[in-house]
C-alpha cells in the first residue's frame, strides 16, 4: 500500500547514518590494508590483484547487501530511517534500487556532503543524487505503517 509522507530532509540523522556506515567501512579498509597491504614509498599501503576485491565486497555487503536483504543499512537502522521506493510502498529496496542509491555515494558525499545537503533541501521529496537515480526516498521508520495497519 502506498503512503503519503510529509517529506523532511532529516539531515542530521542522514549524516549520522552515513558516519556510522562509512566509519565501519573505512575502518575495515584501513585494518585490511595495514594487515595485508604492502608498504609504498610514499608511506602508505597498497593491495594488488584479487585481494583488492575484498574491500569492494565489504562495501557491497554493508550498503547494498544490508539494505536490499534486511531493509536498511546499519547506520539508517540505528538512527531510525529507512529507504523505500518513492511511490511510498513500505518494502525493502531491490538490489538494483539500492545499488543505484549507493553507487552515487561518492558524488553525494564529496565536498563534505554539500551536494547531498543542497539536494535534500531543494528537492520536493528531499532526495540526494542516489535517491533521484534510484527513485527512492528516505523516511523515518516511525512514519511507516506496519503491515497490520496497512491492510485495514
Does the structure show a pLDDT above 80 at 140? yes
The highest-confidence range among 1-10, 79-88, 140-149, by mean pLDDT, is 79-88
Q: Find the mean pLDDT for residues 11-25.
A: 96
pTM for the model stands at 0.86
**Which has the higher per-residue pLDDT, 26 or 147?**
26
Under the banding of pLDDT at 50, 70 and 90, the label for residue 1 is low
Which residue has 512514519 as its cell numbers? 143
Helix extents (H) in the chain: 11-36, 53-60, 66-70, 74-79, 95-103, 105-122, 129-134, 147-151
Domain boundaries, the chain: 11-143
> How far apart (Å, rounded) are the C-alpha atoms in residues 46 and 13?
34
pLDDT value for 152: 44
Over pLDDT 70: what percentage of the chain? 94
Does the structure show a pLDDT above 50 at 119? yes
Amino acid at each position: 500500500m502506498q503512503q503519503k509522507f510529509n517529506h523532511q530532509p532529516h539531515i542530521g540523522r542522514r549524516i549520522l547514518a552515513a558516519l556510522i556506515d562509512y566509519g565501519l567501512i573505512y575502518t575495515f579498509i584501513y585494518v585490511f590494508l595495514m594487515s595485508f597491504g604492502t608498504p609504498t614509498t610514499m608511506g602508505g599501503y597498497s593491495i594488488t590483484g584479487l585481494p583488492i576485491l575484498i574491500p569492494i565486497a565489504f562495501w557491497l555487503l554493508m550498503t547494498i547487501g544490508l539494505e536490499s536483504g534486511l531493509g536498511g543499512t546499519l547506520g539508517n537502522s540505528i538512527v531510525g530511517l529507512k529507504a523505500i521506493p518513492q511511490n511510498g510502498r513500505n518494502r525493502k529496496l531491490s538490489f538494483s534500487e539500492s545499488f543505484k542509491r549507493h553507487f552515487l555515494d561518492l558524488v553525494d558525499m564529496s565536498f563534505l556532503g554539500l551536494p547531498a545537503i543542497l539536494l535534500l533541501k531543494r528537492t520536493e521529496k528531499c532526495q540526494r543524487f542516489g535517491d533521484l537515480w534510484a527513485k527512492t526516498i528516505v523516511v523515518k521508520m516511525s512514519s511507516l505503517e506496519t503491515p497490520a495497519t496497512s491492510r485495514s
